[in-house]
Structure 1
């Protein structure tokens, strides 16, 4: 008999390969529903999408009809319960559980079920598996379904990213070139990294759970931790993409307060380093509060990073002119600096003037800052001298 873990690995491998080439939502839901049924040796499986306050049963693979194409309120379905609470649900007897809408199940073959949310943080879907007899799936089976859900989340996020790119292609504006560069860079990184990362984490999970050697299990756990760190980095890149493609909502922003709050966090994380960040009093702008915070975090964080080798690091944020409607501010540091001839390269995605070994990073922070500044009608430029520091001048709307 082939070991269960190997069967599960084969199914997951097949699924990862199929999802890596998926270009439509229908393709994703069909592949995942089939994989769920196979993994759980179930009589049926469904893929349920969260749509505002409803559960949409997008696909199913089953011995009899279930609810494909139907929508139900989120608070009336087990799938809604699982997504709302970010919890996996195992129900050995659907007619003995108060969370189950019994009338909806009486016309089906279902006697027991398992529902797994897709993405634990803010679930976007759920995978249901069903049996015609009373059954409680083994913990290993439930875990394999959760790994499948992680893979499905990657595929759905890739579809979202691809759709956003298609929409943006038809919305050219005066800053189209920089926007396209940023989109292309993030698309390339996120899409190309997610599929192999999902497979790596999935296999490491299976290895860790079936490893007899304590040493080998530690190796698998190390792979998992590294994968989790990489996944977090990918999510940070995607969050930058999402932030800069939402409509801006300008409002009064206390730039001094935002910068000092950010500075306090950076100084605290610096530990024993000698690091001083001075922010001028009374800096006010009229901008999107979330995007303004992103600008400040990136510019101050960039300065902290490039002063890492400076014994007595000093960073300042101040206003250099008070003209209306746009005022100019500058973030200045005494760090590594750069050659002035390379100044424009700083704002191009994935462009780095220093090695990743010396100063780690994604090469997306300053490109994102430039995009945000442009969305507000402002400009940004940089001045630097090698080994003597850098200054970033940016303009934002200010109160009349």
Structure 2
């Protein structure tokens, strides 16, 4: 072979390397092409390109079909692609695609010179496609009327004299592909291999379609569940907002009545000092409880405001954080004597919302008292550069690592509501308040 012939053969060989993964047939085609696609005249050493071999053309068609199948997302698309490709690959006079439906064969689609059985169903045991699926192997029949597996009555109205039937998927076949000829035709092994390669590709495409359909269904279910959850959350927030406002309405006059009663008791002379002491205690307890109830209602309203994006802070200059903290600590100390150790350090004055910071301090102290197992808690403040830092430390059971981020979410808590009360909103609201002040909050346990 001349240098030119060698270079052409090498180029063709390189182009054919893409066929290697599909089947042994492709390898043989590639070898034949390399050897036979160049002819050398010994006398003149001139190269004459041969016509493109039938096998190479069929293989190009197979690759194009596989590419089409890779994009198919519906079984109907796969059926149409395979039925047309099956006939084109072998040059048969007809091709069918048959799906297995329980104990029946459904001739879903066909591409043929004359009508076959499109749309009809037959028992698996009564047709050659059923035989191929039940036996997990291909069938090659040169003369259909000489084969006992063929229901002759079903074939007489058709042009079919010979056929090949291959199952789609060797294990538990789900379909079959048929090729038909109008004259006696003994299918070559290459033709059967081409059809089997097409069947294998169709099997993968069908499985991909099923997975795609399942994925779409899962996504639709997830989307529906997410939408329903959002709807339920909106209903809950709406209920909480309405309920909080309704509870707040009668609470205001109740607080006024308690305040009036406290003043009345303090200004009245009692002959029985024991009675006055008792009434004063009742008045103080009622006042604290109504105040705490008002804070719970405000927490519910704040939670709704945060979710709706309507939560705001109103900072003002010259707010003394240590003085603010001292006021709150003193208030809690009056009912929890000896349990709060206050450690202020340095001057902490800034541009803050005093009411909202007081809300944060109260939330953190009440949490520490609730979970601290009646041990003393420590409230400390200090300055780091231009930042005010404060911490509340308790000596309770602590918070598990997996719960340390979750407890800052809405309606979340580190322990069961049966063990400890609360709405699970304190840390959620506190985080929002501090973020509005360009601050942050974290837990160490």
* Shared fold (TM-score, shorter chain, > 0.5): no
TM-score by length of 1: 0.43
Q: State TM-score, norm by structure 2.
A: 0.39
Question: If each structure's strand is expressed as a fraction of its own residues, which one has the higher value?
Answer: 1
Q: Which fold has the larger relative contact order, with Cα–Cα distance below 8 Å and residues 6 or more apart in sequence?
A: 1
